[in-house]
């Protein structure tokens, strides 16, 4: 298969989940007497583990500095600070921003998400989760742009601003007011934070297209998908917090702590290399020599025993093995 064909195929993990869903459904059918035997094979396909491409903190800073498009710059800046999903970025409204909260630090709330869905599927969605349906831009459109509540309660969260992000948001809001004052009669206020100069809402696909265009112009950076920025941010926050999963989970909005651990633990290659060095230094040290972990280097991120115990509760076997090694060293 060519590269494009390979990208169209489903991953092993997706096939595994589909198999599990079908297996459960047909098993109920057998129990209810609808069919005699389940047609789903007993053995499920193995999950495929794919190395996630992320950026280092230096790459994140350099990339942000090189982005001249104000829409892309703000979207990426918000993602790196808050580890946001694409739909959450464009789902923000000005009312979600509070510059005076947290003793002047400033916060923004994540409680909505924007998504484009097929109209036939929209009829089957619970009306309670749909906040707004945007007007169609094209006649006979088969899809609708909607603003909906987040998929889980844990996805609703408050994120603290940085001073640089705070200033950029103030400048963005000022530009929005200037755009509206230029031609108020033709201005179509969508009510969203991310909007075009004419007031219409910016869709997630536009953010992705702008990011792809930027990547084509900057091949010096490792190629990642836009969602990789969320992974990069979450990984960096785990590292600088010394593995404080609960604190990072509050920012990322993962449903459970083990989901966060299982998603990001295997991509912290630099941390694992450092762990190996500390194991070697501590394991082969002469009696009476302090363990390298006993006296942490200045400004070195550490992880508490309680945090490691929290990680071990629901992590998958591979992650548990890595964390047990950390406890030993």
Mean pLDDT per 10-residue section of the chain, whose length is 329 residues: 66 82 92 92 72 84 96 96 92 96 94 91 76 88 90 81 96 96 93 95 95 96 91 82 70 64 55 64 67 48 51 54 52
**pLDDT computed for residue 45 by the predictor:** 73
Q: Which is nearest to 190 in space by CA: 223, 140, 146?
A: 146
Three-state DSSP state, 107: strand
pLDDT score of 238 = 78
3-state secondary structure of 160: strand
At 220 the pLDDT is 95
Mean of the per-residue pLDDT values of the chain: 81
Question: Beta strand 130-133 with 97-98: parallel, antiparallel or unpaired?
Answer: unpaired
Spatial separation of the C-alpha atoms in residues 127 and 187, rounded to whole Å: 29
Q: What is the pLDDT of residue 96?
A: 96
Predicted pLDDT of residue 207: 96
In 3-state terms, the chain is what percent helix, strand and coil (to 5)? 50, 10, 40
DSSP-assigned beta bridge partners for residue 116: 145
Q: Residue 281: what pLDDT?
A: 73
pLDDT at position 295: 46
* Beta-bridge partner residues of 201: 195
Whether 76 and 234 have beta carbons less than 8 Å apart is answered as: no
Q: Write b or e for each residue in 188-216: b if 16 or more Cβ atoms lie within 10 A of its Cβ, otherwise e.
A: eebebbbbeeebbbbbbebbeebbeebbe
Closest CA to 87 of 194, 213, 247: 194
Give the C-alpha separation, 232 to 84, whole Å: 11
**Is the distance from CB of 180 to CB of 75 less than 8 angstroms?**
no
Residue found by looking up tokens 């070195």 in the block: 300
The three-class DSSP label of residue 134 is coil
For the chain, the distance separating the N- and C-terminal CA atoms, rounded to the nearest angstrom, is 46
pTM of the predicted structure, to 2 decimals: 0.70
Reported for 63-67, long-range contacts at CB under 8 A and 24+ positions apart, including other chains, are 63/218, 63/221, 66/214, 66/218, 67/214
Q: How far apart are CA 28 and CA 42, in angstroms?
A: 15
Compute how many other C-beta atoms are within 10 angstroms of the C-beta atom of residue 118. Answer: 11
């Amino acid at each position: 298969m060519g590269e494009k064909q390979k990208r169209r195929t489903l991953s092993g993990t997706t096939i595994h989940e589909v198999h599990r869903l079908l297996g459960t459904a047909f098993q109920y059918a057998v129990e209810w007497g609808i069919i005699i035997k389940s047609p789903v094979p007993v053995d499920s396909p193995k999950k495929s583990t794919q190395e996630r491409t992320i950026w280092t903190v230096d790459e994140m800073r350099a990339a942000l500095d090189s982005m001249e498009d104000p829409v892309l710059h703000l979207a990426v800046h918000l993602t790196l600070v808050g580890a946001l999903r694409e739909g959450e970025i464009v789902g923000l409204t000005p009312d979600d921003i509070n510059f005076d909260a947290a003793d002047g630090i400033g916060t923004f709330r994540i409680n909505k998400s924007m998504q484009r869905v097929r109209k036939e599927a929209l009829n089957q969605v619970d009306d309670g989760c749909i906040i707004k349906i945007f007007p169609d831009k094209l006649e006979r459109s088969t899809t609708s742009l909607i603003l909906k509540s987040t998929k889980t309660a844990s996805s609703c969260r408050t994120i603290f601003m940085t001073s640089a992000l705070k200033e950029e948001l103030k400048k963005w809001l000022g530009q929005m007011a200037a755009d509206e004052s230029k031609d108020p009669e033709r201005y179509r206020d969508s009510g969203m934070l991310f909007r075009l100069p004419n007031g219409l809402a910016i869709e997630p696909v536009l953010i992705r297209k702008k990011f792809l265009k930027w990547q084509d112009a900057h091949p010096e950076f490792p190629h990642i998908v836009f969602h990789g920025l969320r992974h990069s941010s979450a990984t960096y926050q785990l590292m600088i917090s010394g593995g404080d999963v609960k604190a990072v989970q509050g920012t990322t909005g993962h449903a459970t702590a083990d989901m966060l651990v299982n998603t990001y633990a295997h991509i912290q290659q630099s941390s694992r290399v450092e762990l190996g060095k500390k194991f070697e230094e501590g394991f082969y040290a002469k009696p009476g020599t302090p363990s390298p972990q006993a006296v942490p280097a200045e400004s070195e991120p550490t992880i508490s025993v309680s945090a490691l115990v929290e990680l071990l509760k629901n992590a998958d076997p591979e992650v548990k093995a890595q964390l047990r090694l950390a406890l030993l060293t």
